[in-house]
A and B are shown apart, each in its own frame.
Chain A
């Protein structure tokens, strides 16, 4: 059962453009939504995370938008750079237990110069 659906599977953006990756979740008990960035041959690294009590969180060029009623959240990368080329994973977990992350399938982003 896929509890977190991520799209698109792959994305090509020109340098300076905006990259947008979307995720949808099913379990309304989820209340922690991190995004991870993974470069080839490396483990995922936490990029940014959001709780459902806010609709948006921004850190530098990275912004998470959260829509609780639609059970959707998205990652926006502003002024995309070739160095942002990586695979991005959204994830979800719920408070009250330990931090068992349920991951989306990933989006492979390529930023062309």
Chain B
């Protein structure tokens, strides 16, 4: 079956531009997570959605970062006025429920490069 889909797979943009990253979770998965993976680093939690609500936005690095989820499905992560330190791979994961023992299924990420 279809897994988590992220688009674009690669994005190169100039410093100061806004970018939108899209995540299509597995159908029926109510929980959705965004993580950031910097070069050679582990995954850093950004935000969690349960349905269309975001109970935990604590990982968003600054107010330039925002995310939304619509229809309990697609999610968009927006970065405004991009900076070079925003360069990273942005990963989305979904799980059937938000329970601890429900595995998170990851997409292949969007590799964002800020020039």
Q: Residues of B with Cβ closer than 8 Å to A?
A: 4, 31, 33, 35, 40-45, 48, 50, 55-56, 91, 93, 95, 98-109
A68 at the A/B interface (Cβ < 8 Å)?
no
**Which 5 A-B pairs rank lowest in CB-CB distance, beginning with the nearest?**
A43-B106, A98-B98, A103-B42, A103-B43, A105-B42
Where the two chains meet, the residues of A that have a C-beta atom closer than 8 Å to any C-beta of B are 4, 6, 31-32, 34, 36, 41-46, 49, 51, 89, 91, 93-95, 98-106
A-B CB contacts (within 8 Å), total count: 68
- Known A-B contacts A44-B91, A89-B43; the reply to A101 vs B108 at CB < 8 A is no
Assess whether A43 is in contact with B109, with CB atoms less than 8 Å apart: yes
Is the CB–CB distance between B42 and A89 below 8 Å?
Answer: yes
- In the bound complex, how far is the Cα of B42 from the Cα of A52, in angstroms? 23
Known: A98-B31, A99-B95, A100-B48. A6 touches B101 (CB 8 A): no
Q: Within 8 Å CB of B50, what residues of A?
A: 98
